[in-house]
Amino acid sequence: MVVTIGLLQTAGTMGFLNLALAHDVSSSMSSIILFTNPLWLAFLAHFLLKDTLTIQKISALILGVAGVVTSIGLDVSAFSLGALFALLGSFCWSINTVVTKKIPFDNGPWIFTAWQLLLGGVFLYLFSIPVHESYNFLNLGFWGWVWFIWLIIPASVGSFGLWFYSLGQRGATVASSFLFLVPVFSTIFSIMGLHEPFTLNLVLGGSMVVLALVLVNWKVKREEE
pLDDT digits (tens, 9 = 90+) for 149-178: 888 888 888 887 887 777 666 656 666 666
Question: Could you give the CA distance from residue 104 to residue 134 in angstroms, rounded to a whole number?
Answer: 35
* DSSP, res 51: -
Q: What is the pTM of this model?
A: 0.72
Query: How confident is the model at residue 24, as a pLDDT?
Result: 79
What average pLDDT does the structure give for the chain? 78
User: What CA–CA distance (Å, rounded) separates 214 from 13?
Assistant: 22
Taking the C-alpha atoms of residue 198 and residue 187, their distance in angstroms, rounded to an integer, is 9
What integer pLDDT is reported at residue 105 of this predicted model?
Answer: 67
Q: Is the pLDDT of residue 83 over 70?
A: yes
Please report the pLDDT score of residue 224 as a whole number. Answer: 45
Residues 6+ away with beta carbon under 8 Å from 125 = none
Best CA proximity match to 56, nearest among 218, 204, 206: 218
Q: For residue 92, what pLDDT is reported?
A: 92
pLDDT band at 117 (very low <50, low <70, confident <90, very high): confident
pLDDT of 225 above 50: no
